[in-house]
Chains A and B, each alone.
Chain A
Amino acid sequence: MKTNTKNSSQNMKKFKFFEVTADIGYWAYGHTIEESFENAGLAMFEVMTNTKHVSPYIQKEITILSEDTVSLLYDWLSELLFLHDTEFIFFSKFKIEISKENENYKLTAKLLGEKIDYSKHEQLNEVKAVTFHLMEIQKHNNIYKSRVILDL
């Protein structure tokens, strides 16, 4: 599994995996919170397959409303997992916008991916669920870092 995918345009990692005894965790980076969330989505699919081999053939749009940014991250990834499980799609490209709507945060996203095809897509781990364990979003030197631990 890759642990150090770099963005082609800027010299920033997209995500970095870390070890959790029974499961897997990662930090997802971004110049904006949106980019950090996009990379959090990508990292989750990287756990399931090699996303390099996932072509952007199918497009989906989703909207999520949550009460705070951590819940928004949890709900975002849970929604991706749900779509993966029910529509049999691996996603590999994400475009997110986040706005404040009254007391809530609203996330709208365009997702690009491909129907699962195991003759082409590697079968790695099945993700059972997104956890709240140590979930947080930090900002250091204008870089956003989101920490996620997945239950495998």
Chain B
Amino acid sequence: MEIKDTLKKVRECVWEVPGGYNKSMRVPGRIYLNDATIESLEPGAIEQVANVACLPGIQKASIGLPDIHFGYGFSIGGVAAFSTRTGVISPGGVGFDINCGVRMVKTNLTEDEVKPKIKELINTLFKNVPSGVGSKGKIRLENNQIDDVLNNGAEWAVENGYGWDEDLEYLEENGKMNEANSDKVSEKAKKRGIPQLGSLGSGNHFLEVQKIDEIFDDKAAEIFSVNPGEIAILIHTGSRGCGHQVCSDYLRIMDKAYKNHNINLPDRQLACAPVDSKEGINYFEAMSAAANYAWANRQMIVHWVRESFEEIFNKSAEDMEMNIIYDVAHNIAKKEVHEIKGKPMEVFVHRKGATRAFGPGHKDIPKKYQSVGQPVIIPGTMGTSSYLLHGTQTAMEETFGSTAHGAGRKMSRSSAKKEFKGEEIQKYLAKMGIEIKATSMPIIAEEAPDAYKDVDEIIKTADTAGISKLVAKMKPLGVAKG
């Protein structure tokens, strides 16, 4: 029987992979898709949800979110939580780009003010925020400073003049995981990290100037301080070569560890170690350090974004009210407390291509957002809308407080390059009123909107299932890409 035929509909947009599908499954799988998207899902991704359900100490369910697709070992758009006593921790459950994430900054500028200067603005952002293959930051860290970045994250950046004190309040984890220990990060990862701090990178990472186009929830929008017609900025990047190296290093270590700890795996890429083992503890501390690097990175970029706006609009960033709305991590593992079988329990939640979506009243979200739940930022693709949602109680109950993270590719990069020409895509976007600047034309072709799945469907599914609820839709005016 094909794995798709075993799926049972739980309710609208929610499907179960029964625990009996594979004898080694310790919990069932749960997938959030609508009737249309379930048809186009690769069977390999469902198989991966079932494989993750076989790992020691997994709690409640192995979860596939509305943007689920095939990844290495763990699917992308997946969540798995493991007991902090009997469970495992796995670098494959986080991914290469540790703390890849999205940050949203508001302004009080309107489209009328920004539109005439959009070309100049994008060029200035492109100039002030380093991007592209192997992009180097503008600053040169002293050798020992990298440890401060890894241990202190965005706090380091603010202390060194990048951004405002109050920024920290509006970052997931306040931009610093306390478990970070830079001693557990290899010299290689530090060496890759030093020159790249304060850079956007390449691929699907971007910096976008957007207009708040539509509001779906007036009360939440007011609490998040987003007003229709105003301009916002979205920054999408992660921990650069530093995080990639941490993942690569620990994949090698875990590949030996799971054998030494006699863990049976259905797929070698699920390589993991018990949470209380030396390998498990070291990975978590190194991953936390790489996550801090990413928060520092986005913090520095915010600083240059503010400077760029000041340069173009001749006003201070404070006058333009360029506050951070929120910053979310969508590739990360965290120690969190969730209710399992009616009791609070500490678990290691792995979110790989998944956004935290904590609901109202959660202690870990900013005071200002307590009544509505945390902001959830889901970027679209170049030229399509992005969305702001809020976390929910349903997410707390069903998905360890998690929801989707983005569109996900449907076409390979090489097919996209055959199908589209960078120049044509650029012209097409220009016609729609979107200014784009990238390091090369092939990058624009690869990132063509049609090379990605429809983000609107993903958002609808998340909203219908209730694992996050729509607040606002943002339309791009200009994009700077690596």
**Do A and B actually bind?**
yes
Listed in ascending order, the chain A residues whose CB lies under 8 Å from chain B are 1, 17, 19-24, 48-49, 71, 74-75, 78, 82, 84-86, 88, 116, 118, 122-126, 128-133, 149, 151-152
Contact in complex: A126, B413 (CB < 8 Å): no
- Number of B interface residues in the complex (CB < 8 A): 44
CB-CB under 8 A for A151 and B96, given A1-B417, A86-B192, A88-B134: yes
Q: Tell me which of A19, A128, A131, A132 contacts B412 (CB under 8 A).
A: A19
* Cβ A132 vs Cβ B269 within 8 A: yes
Q: Which of A49, A88, A128, A149 contacts B97 (CB 8 A)?
A: A128
Given A82-B188, A82-B192, A152-B203, the answer on whether A125 and B413 have CB atoms closer than 8 Å is: yes
Q: A82-B245, A123-B440 are in contact. Are A19 and B192 (CB under 8 A)?
A: no
Residues in A with CB closer than 8 Å to B202 are 123, 125-126
Q: Say yes or no: A116-B269 contact (C-beta < 8 A), given A123-B440, A124-B440, A126-B202.
A: no
A122 and B134 within 8 A (CB): no
A21–B69 touching, CB < 8 Å: yes
Q: Which partner residue on chain B sits nearest A74 by CB separation?
A: B252
Q: Given A24-B414, A123-B439, A133-B269, is A78 in contact with B134 using a C-beta cutoff of 8 Å?
A: no
A29 to chain B, nearest CB (A): 19
Residues of B within 8 A of A (CB): 69-70, 72-73, 76, 96-97, 132-134, 136, 188, 191-192, 195-196, 201-203, 241, 244-245, 247-248, 251-252, 255, 268-269, 408-415, 417, 439-440, 442-443, 446, 482
The docked-state distance in angstroms from the alpha carbon of A79 to that of B252 is: 13
B244, A21: Cβ atoms closer than 8 Å: no
Q: Which of A123, A124, A133 contacts B72 (CB 8 A)?
A: A133
Interface pair B96/A128, CB less than 8 Å apart: yes
Q: Which residues of B contact A20 (CB under 8 A)?
A: 412
A1 touches B255 (CB 8 A): no
Q: How long is the Cα–Cα vector from A19 to B76 in the complex, in angstroms?
A: 18
Cα distance A132–B270 when bound, in Å? 11
> Would B96 and A84 count as touching, CB distance under 8 A?
no
Q: Which of A17, A118, A126, A130 has the most CB of B within 10 A?
A: A126
Give every chain A residue within 8 A of B73 (Cβ-Cβ).
Answer: 133
Complex Cα gap A129–B241 (Å): 8
How near does chain B come to A54, taking the closest CB pair, in angstroms? 13
Point out the residue from B72, B191, B409, B443 that lies within 8 Å of A132, measured CB to CB.
B72
- Chain A residues whose C-beta falls within 8 Å of the C-beta of B410 in the assembled complex: 21
Residues of chain A within 8 A of B252, CB atoms compared: 71, 74-75
Q: Taking each of B69, B196, B412, B439, which has the highest tally of chain A beta carbons within 10 Å of its own beta carbon?
A: B412
B269 touches A128 (CB 8 A): no
Instruction: Write the nearest CB–CB distance from B456 to chain A, whole angstroms.
Output: 20
Known contacts A71-B252, A132-B269; A48/B133 CB under 8 A: yes
A-B contacts, 29 of them at CB < 8 A, read: A19-B412, A19-B415, A21-B411, A22-B408, A23-B413, A24-B412, A24-B413, A74-B252, A75-B252, A82-B188, A85-B196, A86-B192, A88-B136, A123-B202, A123-B439, A123-B443, A124-B440, A125-B202, A125-B413, A125-B446, A126-B132, A126-B133, A126-B482, A128-B96, A129-B244, A129-B247, A131-B72, A132-B251, A151-B244
- Chain B residues closer than 8 Å to A132, beta-carbon distance: 72, 251, 255, 268-269
Expressed in whole angstroms, the Cα–Cα distance for A82 and B446 within the complex equals 25
Complex: chain A residue closest to B133, CB-CB? A126
**With contacts A1-B417, A88-B134, A126-B203 known, what are 9 further pairs, Cβ within 8 A?**
A19-B415, A21-B412, A24-B414, A48-B134, A85-B196, A86-B191, A125-B413, A128-B241, A129-B96
